[in-house]
Amino acid sequence: MIAIFRKKRVAVVCALVCLIAVLSILVWVPGAVPSAAERRKVPVYGVETDQNVVALSFDAAWGADKTAQIMDILEQYGARGTFFLVGFWVDHYPEMVKEIAERGHVIGNHSTNHLHMAKLDRAKMEEELRLTNEKIAALTGNAPQYFRAPFGEYNNSLIETADAMKMQTVQWSIDTLDWKGISGGEIADRVLANVKSGSIILCHNNSDHILEALPLILVGLQNKGLKAVGMDEVVMSSDFTIDANGIQKANKS
């Protein structure tokens, strides 16, 4: 009896294995891999480049009293910056928006209301970007080419929305954590310990110690043979790919 039971159990197991194999053949279709549209999209976090350049960027959502001084320091060291502006900041400081553009720095879009945009539907995402683009263009004559998501939160729909509006979504490879109130020296140390060609550095225009940190950062960059330039001199606009880590690379011919 034991022998018969074991044989039946083996037969049942074999039948199940065969059934699973048949179902796998029926379900699997050659080439059935996720399409490009289904794959996770990523913004530009940094750039692979042989140019000794980095992008210093400043998110502007609250306050503007240090912005002119930031530009003074940048220009003192022959540097350019990129300012990602929120729509309500543009409403409060239109003359500063004009000054940023007139002084040759890059302006990016940081949404209209600084919302958690990955939670929005596509129409609301488009509205958040469009309204700020229109406000900036009305003041400067040019709509932004770059978008940075509030809180660094994004999904495929948000990146696709920015793409459709001819904007590149840009994050950062170095977070200064200046918003935490750390000292200027600590901010600079965070940058200089991690910076390399193609780095994108996140700062905030009204953080507590940004004015003390900037000269230290700029001198440190010069000592490393690096120059702070606008986002348009670091991020490629065509003929590139972005790897899974968000590193933008030129396509090889």
| Residues with catalytic function | 59, 204
8 CB-near residues (< 8 Å, 6+ apart): none
DSSP tally for the chain: helices H, then strands E: 8, 11
Query: CB-based burial of residue 248 (10 Å sphere; 0-12 exposed, 13-18 middle, 19+ buried)?
Result: buried
Structure tokens at 215: 């000269």
Helix/strand/coil for 169: strand
The full length of the chain comes to: 253
Structure tokens at 204: 């905030």
Helix/strand/coil for 194: helix
